[in-house]
Structure 1
């Protein structure tokens, strides 16, 4: 950033309070300089507006007044210091200028160029009038060095104001983004106009779709996620979350995976902006199922779109449990271990085909073992396994019965 001072060395060891540079000049020099300051100021302003495009605003009377104020103040304080070397430095005007540069969306390079131009004009006038002013070569040397010290002081004051404005703007943008997230997740949904207005002031481009991301609360145990600037972050919320714009866009999946490395997270389906809360709700449900061991996704980012059937099944567990009592009744008289083996086999058979070889490969057991279990299931269920509606209900209750065995998903 160009806020590093005129020579890229902000905070140099040269001290503006070094009175030696100012004390060597006769104090009556200030009295002789003051009558010509207005002419010098006009010349400086002409140079600045002519040579620096950012300041060439002849039609902007307010801006011209600001430049004139800055130049007049810089010359006044310089001459005052010659008259009274111990006079306190007054940086407020130049901090204000730095804030203005930040608010205009510029860096400090134009301002630094303007300061150098002003110093060049002032130095030229001093050397031209040195005999009239009674200045010796040593006086001129000391004043030249004082000008450089003064330039550093002006640049540092402007940089402080610049940094303050940037920090304030960043904080304000962050507050607006937090408020935008509140609106997007509100129930009932906020009006599209309210969201659009706040998104504009928050510098957030309205996407076609969004997805909610639920995060496990690590309470500071992991580094903060490294996320693109267009992702709305609610890491500090009681239930940490994100809102991702256009989640199916090019490269978004890889970017999220990389940014959330080390975090356990779930991303909801892509939905219209008005349904952001719904997407986040699904993501939180998926994350909860992962904690319970129902979803055994090994990657850091769990995607609801990969597990929609399971999420639907677990939406009303009481109803699923009631259905399970009916559909799993043929297994109820068996020992728990037998129930588990037959339920696992039946689910694999329903999901992956009715060949013993395919089921055996999924379960990592011998095909003969699968054939034996399938014969048991045929004896227990009879003609029910030929009914597609019953098979569908069986798959639902078997999926909900216990976590899917790794390798069978």
Structure 2
């Protein structure tokens, strides 16, 4: 970049530039004193390394400006000022202190030029051009610093995201990773170790869809073969509502809350619930495993459940399908909601006399089996599984 034409067309004599350059030390001291006095972030008189960095930056800025007065068309290396922006990002600040320091430096430089204008014989036109050039140069320094700042922030965010991704892999590994390794990586990723977590399995077809902003402590695994989230302290204030809002419209399953070291277990249950939802056993949309634990247990070993159903539902096998459905529905309601005909009738929305008739049929088919608590338990498992399959 070249300084604007009003300066380049009125080249500053080399001897004047040499005179200005000879006063760099004093101008540099003035600029540094102004910065340390007015900008608290840079007031570190006891930090020798920091003082040296500030002085070097100021000297480079002034020296670079004078170089460009000597040769406005010379190439300019913005890298030192990009490094300043990167340094601000590393310090955890925004760019306002650095920009304020640059403005202070420009004002000090302009003040010194006006003081020297007479002794140096600078014409008003030349002086105005120099003032304009100072602020053009200031904009270029600020642009370079902003570029470095944004680069550093993006790099930092990318590195932090990679650390959090590795942390998620570690938490979901089987067997579980060591607590010390988890703690070290969590610290590097800026993630507070929670007491409990819940994992969310996301439908693969929609896992990469953009979710609304999630709390910063939620670990995201959108790029995993099976997309997922890990939510710390799921029972914490507002966590459930925040998660439900973020997942609204998505096909997902929220696993049970478990200790941190059992995160993989929560994800496994969430994945199984999501698969049952795909098959139609559980409803589509957003599922909570805690609301469907019985179904998840029943379908954990479908072959075993089928074998159990074949034995326990054998007394119904010879009936017509419609009769099987009515009696199975009545028996399940009786097992789940009590043995009173009125209570069962209310659950099924039929007349109590209808329930009494069906119960007499069931007593004839099952006999004393209905008084055995173990058989009643097995019957409920078989009937729940049958109900889920028919609901597909």
What is the TM-score when the length of structure 2 is the normalising length? 0.95
Post-superposition offset of 1:125: 0.7
Q: In 1, are the aligned partners of 2:207 and 2:222 still within 8 Å (CA)?
A: no
280, 283, 303: which one pairs with 1:318? 303
Provide the rounded CA distance (Å) in 1 between the counterparts of 2:206 and 2:22. Answer: 66
> What residue ranges of structure 2 are gaps of 5+ in the alignment?
none
Provide the rounded CA distance (Å) in 2 between the counterparts of 1:397 and 1:17. Answer: 85
1:303 matched to 2:280? The reply is no
Q: Identify the residue that residue 190 of structure 1 maps to in structure 2.
A: 177
Post-superposition offset of 1:114: 0.5
Q: In 2, are the aligned partners of 1:320 and 1:400 still within 8 Å (CA)?
A: yes
Q: In 1, are the aligned partners of 2:255 and 2:290 still within 8 Å (CA)?
A: yes
Output the aligned Cα RMSD. Answer: 1.8
1:342 matched to 2:334? The reply is no
User: Deviations for 1:211-245, whole angstroms, at most 9, x for unmatched residues?
Assistant: 11111112578433532111100112111111100
1:66 matched to 2:58? The reply is no
Provide the rounded CA distance (Å) in 1 between the counterparts of 2:6 and 2:75. Answer: 15
Q: Identify the residue that residue 5 of structure 2 maps to in structure 1.
A: 19
CA gap of 1:258–1:405, structure 2 versus 1, over 3 A, is: farther
For 1:188, what is the secondary structure of its paired residue? Answer: coil
Provide the rounded CA distance (Å) in 1 between the counterparts of 2:228 and 2:208. Answer: 16
Q: Identify the residue that residue 267 of structure 1 maps to in structure 2.
A: 254
Post-superposition offset of 1:284: 0.6
User: Deviations for 1:336-378, whole angstroms, at most 9, x for unmatched residues?
Assistant: 2322221122111211222333323333334343333222111
Give the helix-richer structure, 1 or 2.
2
CA gap of 1:220–1:22, structure 2 versus 1, over 3 A, is: farther
User: Deviations for 1:296-349, whole angstroms, at most 9, x for unmatched residues?
Assistant: 3x6x32111122222122222222222212211111111223222211221112
Q: Identify the residue that residue 278 of structure 1 maps to in structure 2.
A: 265
Q: Identify the residue that residue 383 of structure 1 maps to in structure 2.
A: 368
What is the TM-score when the length of structure 1 is the normalising length? 0.91
Provide the rounded CA distance (Å) in 1 between the counterparts of 2:198 and 2:310. Answer: 36
> What residue ranges of structure 1 are gaps of 5+ in the alignment?
1-14
Provide the rounded CA distance (Å) in 1 between the counterparts of 2:290 and 2:389. Answer: 17
374, 378, 382: which one pairs with 1:393? 378
Q: In 2, are the aligned partners of 1:234 and 1:240 still within 8 Å (CA)?
A: yes
Provide the rounded CA distance (Å) in 1 between the counterparts of 2:106 and 2:50. Answer: 21
